[in-house]
Amino acid sequence: MRFVLPSLLALAICHSAHADLLYAMRGTVLHRLDTDTRIASIVAHTGLPRVSSMTVVGNQLVAVNLEGGIGQLTEIDPVTGDVSVIDELDFSVSLAMGLAAHDGELYGSSQQFSDIYRITPGAPSTLIVEDFSLSVSGMDFDSDGTLWALDGALSTKHLIKVNVNDGSTEIVSKNGLIEHGPMAAIAFGSSGRMWAIDGDTDELILIDTVTGTGQSVGVTTGWGNDRSIVGMTAVPAPSSLAVLGLSLMFAQRRRSR
C-alpha cells in the first residue's frame, strides 16, 4: 500500500530530468532548491526554532527540533509548513546530527561519539553503530540502501559509508571536502547525485561518492537573510515516493497520546 501527497508526486514527475529538488531548512523557514537554477524558494515559515536535521518519510518531511535540550521528532507538511510533534528521542542530540530514512526505517546520530540509532516512534531506539568517534552532521541513503554519513565540521570533512544491517563502517575519504566550509547536511537527489551546501559561501557542492571530494556548481540564491542551512533532504523519485510504513506508525503514535 502506498500513499503519496499529490504535490510531492507532481514535483517529482514534472520537474526537469536533469535537476534534483532539495528541501532545506534555513533558520525557521522551509525552502525548496532547484539544483539546476540554484535558486531557493520559500515554502513556508515553520516556526521551529532549532531544527538540526531533516529527511523525507512517506508523504511528510520529518525533522529533529531541539526543545529544552530534548530532540523532538517532528513532522513538517511540505506544502503548508504545519508541524506536529511525533515523539521525543531517547538519546542525546545536538544541532550537528544526521537523520535519514529508508524502507520505512528511520535512523539518527547521537551527540556523544555520534552513535547511530534506528528510531521507532513509541519504542526504545536501537543502537546500530557504537562509538563512531566522528561528529556526524549529515546522513542520507543511496538508492542501494547504503547509509552515507558526513563529518562536516570545518576541520575534518570525512565521508563514511555505513552498513545498517551489521553496523560496519567504511571511510570513503578523510578530509576530502576540507577545502569547503562547514556542511550541515548531505542529500541524494532522485538522479543519484549527492549534494551539500557550503555553510560559508552558500555554494552548491556536488560530492563524488568514489573519491569523497566535492565540486562547486555555483552559488545558491534566494535564501534571504536567514542563517546557515541546518537540515536538507531531497524530493524522492516517483518510484520511491511514500512507503506508508513509518507514516502509519507516526499516525498511530499520535492517536495513542
Write down the pTM of the prediction.
0.85
Q: Can you give the pLDDT at residue 246?
A: 52
The mean pLDDT of 210-235, rounded to a whole number, is: 87
**Domain coordinates of the chain in residue numbers?**
6-255
* Confidence grade of residue 132 (pLDDT, cut at 50, 70, 90): confident
The mean pLDDT of 3-14, rounded to a whole number, is: 44
Candidates 49, 127, 31; CA nearest to 95 is 49
DSSP label at residue 6: H
Whether the pLDDT of residue 131 is over 70: the answer is yes
* Confidence grade of residue 10 (pLDDT, cut at 50, 70, 90): very low
Whether the pLDDT of residue 27 is over 70: the answer is yes
Q: Tell how strand 203-207 and strand 214-219 pair up.
A: antiparallel
Ranges of beta strands (E only) in the chain are 21-26, 29-34, 40-45, 51-57, 60-67, 70-76, 83-88, 99-102, 105-109, 116-119, 126-129, 138-141, 147-151, 158-162, 169-173, 187-188, 194-197, 203-207, 214-219, 229-234
Q: pLDDT tens across 31-44, in order?
A: 999 999 999 999 99
Whether the pLDDT of residue 13 is over 70: the answer is no
For domain 6-255, give the fold: Neuraminidase (2.120.10)
Q: pLDDT tens across 141-168, in order?
A: 999 999 999 987 666 788 999 999 999 9
Q: Can you give the pLDDT at residue 248?
A: 45
Q: Tell how strand 169-173 and strand 70-76 pair up.
A: unpaired
Candidates 65, 72, 113, 106; CA nearest to 89 is 72
The mean pLDDT of 12-32, rounded to a whole number, is: 78
Q: Can you give the pLDDT at residue 237?
A: 56
